[in-house]
Amino acid sequence: MYKNNSRDSSKFSGCSPLQLSCSLTGKCHAIGYYYYTTRGGEFEVSVKISGNYKTRFDQMGLMLRIDEEYWIKTGIEYVDGVYNFSTVVTDVHRNWSVIELNGKPESVWIKAVRKIDAVEFFFIP
């Protein structure tokens, strides 16, 4: 979802808007929608995602969020004509890790495992 486009957000009823697009100056814009639940302690979560990626930075995935400054998101991201499995970690600074995929995946399974103060992500294209 992008802030100033013609995409129909009615299909996201029951979802909340999320700030994800942040410039190098730290300014963020609400561009996405998400379903969420609150978890604490150690946990595992698995999701199967698929998307109709068309424009730069279209993405679908899983996010673990403490607050606006501390979060991790991972999933499929379409950048400059390439499909990637990417992960962004923020804790004051942002770190973007990318694995280039061979074409558009029909779907992807993502699993996140949180143990103590560490998180591991697994994916199956």
Q: What is the pLDDT of residue 31?
A: 54
Residues 32 and 79 in one domain: no
Residue 52 tokens, joined:
């109709």
- Count helices and strands in the chain by DSSP H and E runs: 0, 9
Residues 17 and 48 in one domain: no
Residues 45 and 104 in one domain: yes
Residue 102 tokens, joined:
């061979």
What is the torsional sign of CA 46, 2, 66, 77? positive
pLDDT in tens, 5-20: 334 444 444 445 454 4
**Structural domain range at position 21:** 1-36
Number of independent structural domains in the chain: 2
Q: What is the pLDDT of residue 57?
A: 80
Residues 75 and 23 in one domain: no
Read off φ and ψ for residue 18, nearest 5 degrees: -135, 140
Residues 93 and 110 in one domain: yes
pLDDT in tens, 58-96: 888 898 888 878 888 899 998 889 999 999 898 878 888
Q: Are 87 and 99 in contact (CB under 8 A)?
A: no
What is the domain-level CATH number for residue 57? 2.60.120.200
